Chains A and B, each alone.
Chain A
Amino acid sequence: MLRRMLEARARPQGPLDRRDARSKLAALLVFLVVISTARYAFPATAAVMAILLAAACLWAKVPLAEALRRAAVVLPFTAFFAIVCWASGDAERAIALALKSYLSCLAVWLVVATTPMPALLRGFESFGAPRFLLMVAQFIYRYLFVIAEEARAMALAASARGSSARADFRILRFRAAGGALAVLFARSYQRADEIHRAMLARGFRGRMRSLDAPRFQLADAAFAAAASLIAVGARLAAERLV
Chain B
Amino acid sequence: MHIPDGFLAPPVWATLDAVALPAVALAARRAQRGLEDARIPLLGVMGAFVFAAQMINFPVGVGTSGHLVGGALLACTLGPASATVVMAAILAIQALVLQDGGILALGANLLNMAVIGVLAGYLPYRLWGAGRLRKFAIFAGGALSVLASAVLALAELLLSGVRMAPSVLGLSLAVFLVSALLEGAITLAVLQALEAMRPGFVRRPAGGASLALGAVAVAAVLLSAVGVLFASTAPDGIERVLGVAVADASWLRKAGTGLVGLAVLFVMCTVFERFAAKRSA
Nearest A residue to B48 via CB reads A143
Nearest B residue to A33 via CB reads B104
Out of A70, A97, A195, which one reaches B41, CB within 8 Å?
A195
Number of A-B contacts (CB under 8 A): 266
B52: which A residues are within 8 A, CB to CB? Answer: 144, 147-148, 150-151, 184
- B99/A105 in contact, CB under 8 A: yes
> Provided the pairs A142-B44, A173-B59 are in contact, do residues A93 and B162 lie with their beta carbons within 8 angstroms?
yes
A179: which B residues are within 8 A, CB to CB? Answer: 189, 193
Q: Is B10 among interface residues, defined by CB-CB distance under 8 A? A: yes
- B93/A133 in contact, CB under 8 A: no
Which B residues have a C-beta under 8 Å from some C-beta of A?
4-8, 10, 13, 21, 24-25, 28-29, 31-32, 35-38, 40-49, 51-53, 55-59, 65, 68, 77, 85-86, 88-90, 92-93, 95-100, 102-104, 157, 161-165, 168, 185-186, 189-194, 196-198, 237, 240, 242-243
- B93/A178 in contact, CB under 8 A: no
A178: which B residues are within 8 A, CB to CB? Answer: 186, 189-190, 192-193
- B44/A138 in contact, CB under 8 A: yes
- B56/A155 in contact, CB under 8 A: yes
- What's the minimum C-beta distance from B118 to chain A, rounded to whole angstroms? 14
Question: At the interface, is chain B mostly helix, strand, loop or mixed?
Answer: helix
> Provided the pairs A84-B165, A133-B85 are in contact, do residues A186 and B37 lie with their beta carbons within 8 angstroms?
no
Contacts A/B (CB < 8 Å), 25 sampled? A32-B102, A37-B10, A85-B162, A88-B237, A90-B161, A93-B240, A104-B4, A112-B96, A132-B31, A133-B24, A139-B47, A139-B48, A140-B90, A143-B44, A147-B52, A148-B52, A151-B56, A172-B56, A179-B193, A182-B193, A183-B193, A185-B190, A189-B46, A192-B41, A206-B38
> Provided the pairs A104-B6, A136-B44 are in contact, do residues A87 and B103 lie with their beta carbons within 8 angstroms?
no
Q: Which A121-144 residues have a C-beta within 8 angstroms of B?
A: 124, 128-130, 132-144
**Cα-based distance from A206 to B161 in the complex (angstroms):** 48
- What's the minimum C-beta distance from A70 to chain B, rounded to whole angstroms? 6
Give the residue among B49, B157, B197 with the most A Cβ atoms within 10 A.
B49
Q: Is A16 among interface residues, defined by CB-CB distance under 8 A? A: no
> Provided the pairs A32-B103, A140-B89 are in contact, do residues A148 and B55 lie with their beta carbons within 8 angstroms?
yes
- A101/B193 in contact, CB under 8 A: no
- A139/B4 in contact, CB under 8 A: no
B31: which A residues are within 8 A, CB to CB? Answer: 132
- B240/A133 in contact, CB under 8 A: no
**Cα-based distance from A99 to B209 in the complex (angstroms):** 50
Which A residues have a C-beta under 8 Å from some C-beta of B?
1-2, 4-5, 28-29, 32-33, 35-37, 39-40, 42, 70-71, 73-74, 77-78, 81, 84-85, 87-90, 92-93, 96-97, 99-105, 108-109, 112, 117, 120, 124, 128-130, 132-144, 146-148, 150-151, 155, 164, 170-175, 177-186, 188-189, 191-192, 195-196, 199, 206-208
**Cα-based distance from A177 to B7 in the complex (angstroms):** 35
- A108/B99 in contact, CB under 8 A: yes
- B98/A90 in contact, CB under 8 A: no
Out of A39, A78, A108, A132, which one reaches B37, CB within 8 Å?
A132
Out of A81, A138, A206, which one reaches B7, CB within 8 Å?
A81
